Structure 1
Amino acid sequence: MELNVLQSKPKKLGLYNRHLTIQMNRSLPTAFHSTECRKLLTVGISSVQRPQGSYLLDTLRSLFFASSPSERKYFTVVVHLADPDPNWLDQMISNISTLFQPYIQARQLVVINTPLKSYLPLKNLKKNFNGTPAYVTFHSKQNMDYAFLMNFATNHSDYFLMIEDDVKCAPGFVSQIATILSAWERKAWVTLEFSRLGFTGKLFHARDLPCFVRFLLLFYQEMPCDHLLSHFRDLLMQKKPIQFFPSLFQHMGNYSSSEGQVNSLTDKEFEGNDIGPPSNPVATVHTNLNVTNASVLMNAYSLDKNFFYIKKAKAGSHLTVVLDIPAIVFRVQVLTGSELKGENQLKEGQVELGYDSTNRINDCDDYVLLGLLVNGTLDKQVLSEESGKKVKCVRLLVTATLPSGLIVRHINLWIK
């Protein structure tokens, strides 16, 4: 299948109006769902030619391989090939067509290109931040690259996630972002940040994109995009970044797309796959199930091969791990059902994290949803907008009465 590259035709944006008026639609997002016409998330990538080679194909591999088939139904990737070199463009189109054909056919990957004649002037630009003329030209064009990408993506989804073309994605990043969006559904925000690096991992309401596109194009030669984003956020009354840890995206490679410079930046908050065995700090386990032996109940939290079994578990039942000392938990794993046959799974349940401000002994006074069990398991990184926020309770909640018994093999925690 040959990849059809769409040309992004920018709308008339009133670029030369000296007064910028921003009108925002602050209606709350509805429940998240996937449809063929509009999805939860558009992931945007803008890419240009690098003297030392491209990382784009590796980024796309990481993005799709880090997502399960069910997660891919909720997002579309839009790649803006923004280099004017026709040879590079043809080669990149050929490579993407060959390597990512299933995702193209499923409309999970779209590639666009904006004609150079659509760009604003790139000569006689202002010299800001003591940058060389070449760097000022680079970041000015990059601002327009991003603006055309976002302009195209405006009506494709409820949210837009910007990543750069040289990153590695954490497994399950879509589910983790969806969980955060659910928790922040009724809170006011302009951007949520899932990486500390540059423009990577910045999440927008799709409804805000037209205003930010105008902002980028109006001030395209003033400063780089990450600085412009900071000012845009301030104008819309979000006075500080809302960052979540650990980061979901990591920079890879050593060469920048700017003048071929070396760029070895890494995000120290990114958690890789090799994070060692679970910690399971000292804790007690509490439940409202009819359990007669507390030591058997502790099998659910043990690190050995023992497990916890109960014959009946009604909706509303719970097992709650209460840490003796609250800790920064960065990963939670819950495994239910027999290991060999998968019987006695908790197919309808969820895991919640508890925080405590009133020093309750056997429980917490504030719980937030971490995620739902899928096929009897949950394995998630814990994202917090405050890296120092400590967890006291981890609650496994039964949301529908089980037709048979329940086996909880492991509740595993990783802490910093």
Structure 2
Amino acid sequence: MSRKRVLLMYAGIAAIALVLFVAIVNWTCSESDAELELLQLQQQQAATWRRQEADHLSARSGPCQCPPVDVALNGALECPPVPALGLAHGLQGGAAAGSLPQIEGIQLAPVRHLTSRLDNKDADVVLFHAEKHPAQRRTGAKLIMGIPTVRRPKAIYVTETLDALLSRATPNELNQMVFVLFLADKDPALLEELWTTVHTAYSQHIASGLIECVVSKSGAYRPWPSPMRRTFGDPEDRVMWRSKENYDYSLLMEYCKGRADYYMQLEDDILASRNYFKGIVQTVELAKDFQPPWSMLEFTRLGSYAKLFRDSELLEIAAFLRYLWLEQPTDWMMFNFVAVKMQNNRIFSRNALFQHIGKQSSLEGKRQDLVDHTFNENGDPGGIDGRPGDEVVSDRSSFRKNPPAEVVTNIIYRGHYSPRAFYNNERPMLAWLRKSQWIEVWFDTPQRLRRVLVRSGHPTRPTDVLVGGQLSALYEGESNYVTITTGATEIDAKNFDTTKAVQVLRLTVTEDHHYQTCFEQIEVVPV
């Protein structure tokens, strides 16, 4: 090739490179301009939102009209309560909705969790048959208990629940409590039927203000999205059932705000122990100096009932449940809320003060046979299990070193109590389990195995065990997993094909778990 042709070829390449360089610069600039415009738009929207929210707040609250000094000295020591919006006020076109910006097409009402007191006039829940209730509702109580109830297809438990709550507290203790029964059915005929049952049995307590029966206002619930967001692979009816429970709890909490020092979330199918009020007060006293301060105390290891919250944080948990209602079951939402509040551990009374008695779930076709084996009939809380900053301590020096492997999972676990640390036998794994979730161990080098042992539970958490699991193996060169064994609490697998090397071990959860599970030890023994 002549020198002239070589020079021409290089010149052509340089020209092409220059054209490409100019095109890339222009494209990058246009992208940067677009990103800048988007950022400016977002900042303008945020500024507009802040300005509108400030205008809205100033229009509603204004300066506090505290009583003059001479009036205060005669007993009027408190400022008038600041009015507050219900959490969902505006979601259905309320007066405040027009002044708020839209996010993804949903109107979000501001959450008035900064107010120390609420008059509840704008709550989305109201008294049912208000004429049967006293004109003045009880305030200044020590404890208010929220109990949502719906009609089950084949059973009714709410009268058993109320009978136990009323009969297992002293008259003096009942004077420090309020029971709010939320009739959460959507069918007006069912509401009337349930009201008749409750009023017939407890008319005296309703008239005195000890029991309140409430229902939601029209338009209190947000419409179901379409298509439905389905998490955890749950069918649509289960997603709707658990999401409505989140919303029910949120509405009930909002209604109860400002009425007592503490709020306890109950369900309509529980049995209270004797002296339960005394046990709750004792546990609160034991936890008073915890740092960081507790946000939720639990009086059972099951589900989302018997959970105690401070009144000062009640609208925060209500908003958390309301705005993320479709994401997770209520108990998981509660666990995540307290984690956000820096309560790193769940905090239980050592003995449960409330027992689950309902077998027929409000979800048609679902049975619930769970019981809390720590339940103490006499109401002795037995102290506290868990506190902020607690470690699950055990002597792990005798635990064997497992073969090198990568550990992957789709399970939600707590902090540094991770699957990796569990497999390495550095510390337990603490997790909230749902059916069909799994942990997989991918060996760096395939292993011929003689035995695999998985132990759950811990001396300080004897009930936090695996309810049901299946251990499977994927042998090297094969495409299908082989079930090795199934079990609960402890899985001890010994029937491996020792002529084949295992590439992957998989532990699959076969039952829903309604409380935290502690995986204490895993032992992988090669041939």
TM-score, normalising length: structure 1: 0.60
2:296 partner letter: T
Q: CA deviation at 1:152?
A: 0.1
- Answer yes or no: is the 8 Å Cα contact 1:48–1:257 preserved in 2: yes
Q: CA deviation at 1:195?
A: 0.6
Q: CA deviation at 1:175?
A: 1.1
Of the candidates 253, 273, 287, which is equivalent to residue 184 of structure 1?
Answer: 287
1:162 aligns with 2:265: yes
Residue 48 and residue 23 in structure 1: after superposition, are their counterparts in 2 closer, same or farther (change >3 A)?
A: closer
1:260 aligns with 2:350: no
Of the candidates 224, 227, 233, which is equivalent to residue 329 of structure 2?
Answer: 224
| 1:148-297 → structure 2 map (5 Å cutoff) | 148-187=251-290, 188-272=293-377
Q: CA deviation at 1:207?
A: 1.2
Partner SS, residue 305 of structure 2: coil
Note the residue ranges of structure 2 that are not aligned, 5 or more in a row: 1-84, 92-101, 117-136, 387-457, 461-527
Q: Distance in 1 between matches of 2:287 and 2:297?
A: 10
Residue 135 of structure 1 aligns with which residue?
A: 238
2:271 partner letter: K
Residue 67 of structure 1 aligns with which residue?
A: 169
Residue 410 of structure 2 aligns with which residue?
A: none
Q: CA deviation at 1:126?
A: 0.4
Residue 239 and residue 20 in structure 1: after superposition, are their counterparts in 2 closer, same or farther (change >3 A)?
A: farther
- Answer yes or no: is the 8 Å Cα contact 1:135–1:259 preserved in 2: no
Larger relative contact order (Cα-Cα within 8 Å, sequence gap ≥ 6)? 1
Most deviating of 168-177 and 95-104: 95-104
- Answer yes or no: is the 8 Å Cα contact 1:123–1:137 preserved in 2: no
- Answer yes or no: is the 8 Å Cα contact 1:10–1:118 preserved in 2: no
Q: CA deviation at 1:21?
A: 10
Residue 52 of structure 1 aligns with which residue?
A: 154
CA RMSD of aligned residues (A): 2.8
- Answer yes or no: is the 8 Å Cα contact 2:138–2:210 preserved in 1: no
Partner SS, residue 252 of structure 2: helix
- Answer yes or no: is the 8 Å Cα contact 1:134–1:259 preserved in 2: no
Partner SS, residue 130 of structure 1: coil
Of the candidates 97, 111, 117, which is equivalent to residue 213 of structure 2?
Answer: 111
- Answer yes or no: is the 8 Å Cα contact 1:42–1:156 preserved in 2: yes
Q: Distance in 2 between matches of 1:227 and 1:104?
A: 33
Q: CA deviation at 1:105?
A: 2.3
Partner SS, residue 382 of structure 1: coil
Q: CA deviation at 1:215?
A: 0.9
Residue 398 of structure 1 aligns with which residue?
A: none
- Answer yes or no: is the 8 Å Cα contact 1:191–1:202 preserved in 2: yes
Q: Distance in 1 between matches of 2:365 and 2:263?
A: 29
Q: CA deviation at 1:382?
A: 2.6
TM-score, normalising length: structure 2: 0.48
Q: Distance in 2 between matches of 1:102 and 1:13?
A: 33
Aligned residues: 269
Q: Distance in 1 between matches of 2:369 and 2:172?
A: 34
Q: Distance in 2 between matches of 1:75 and 1:385?
A: 26
- Answer yes or no: is the 8 Å Cα contact 1:144–1:217 preserved in 2: yes
- Answer yes or no: is the 8 Å Cα contact 1:190–1:238 preserved in 2: yes
Residue 312 of structure 1 aligns with which residue?
A: none
Q: CA deviation at 1:13?
A: 6.0
Residue 437 of structure 2 aligns with which residue?
A: none
Residue 126 and residue 62 in structure 1: after superposition, are their counterparts in 2 closer, same or farther (change >3 A)?
A: same
Residue 26 and residue 156 in structure 1: after superposition, are their counterparts in 2 closer, same or farther (change >3 A)?
A: closer
Partner SS, residue 139 of structure 1: helix
- Answer yes or no: is the 8 Å Cα contact 2:90–2:109 preserved in 1: no
Q: CA deviation at 1:169?
A: 0.3
Residue 92 and residue 186 in structure 1: after superposition, are their counterparts in 2 closer, same or farther (change >3 A)?
A: same
Partner SS, residue 219 of structure 2: helix
Partner SS, residue 250 of structure 1: strand
- Answer yes or no: is the 8 Å Cα contact 1:160–1:205 preserved in 2: yes
Residue 384 of structure 1 aligns with which residue?
A: 384
2:229 partner letter: K
Partner SS, residue 360 of structure 2: coil
1:114 partner letter: S
1:232 partner letter: F
Note the residue ranges of structure 1 that are not aligned, 5 or more in a row: 1-8, 28-34, 274-330, 332-379, 390-416
Q: In the TM superposition, what whole-angstrom CA distance separates every residue of 1:107-165 from its partner, at most 9, and x where no partner exists?
A: 11111100352201124220111111100111111111111000000011010000111
Q: CA deviation at 1:36?
A: 5.3
Partner SS, residue 98 of structure 1: helix
Q: Distance in 2 between matches of 1:14 and 1:216?
A: 17
Residue 235 and residue 24 in structure 1: after superposition, are their counterparts in 2 closer, same or farther (change >3 A)?
A: farther
Q: Distance in 2 between matches of 1:231 and 1:20?
A: 22
Q: CA deviation at 1:383?
A: 3.1
| 1:58-97 → structure 2 map (5 Å cutoff) | 58-97=160-199
Residue 20 and residue 120 in structure 1: after superposition, are their counterparts in 2 closer, same or farther (change >3 A)?
A: closer
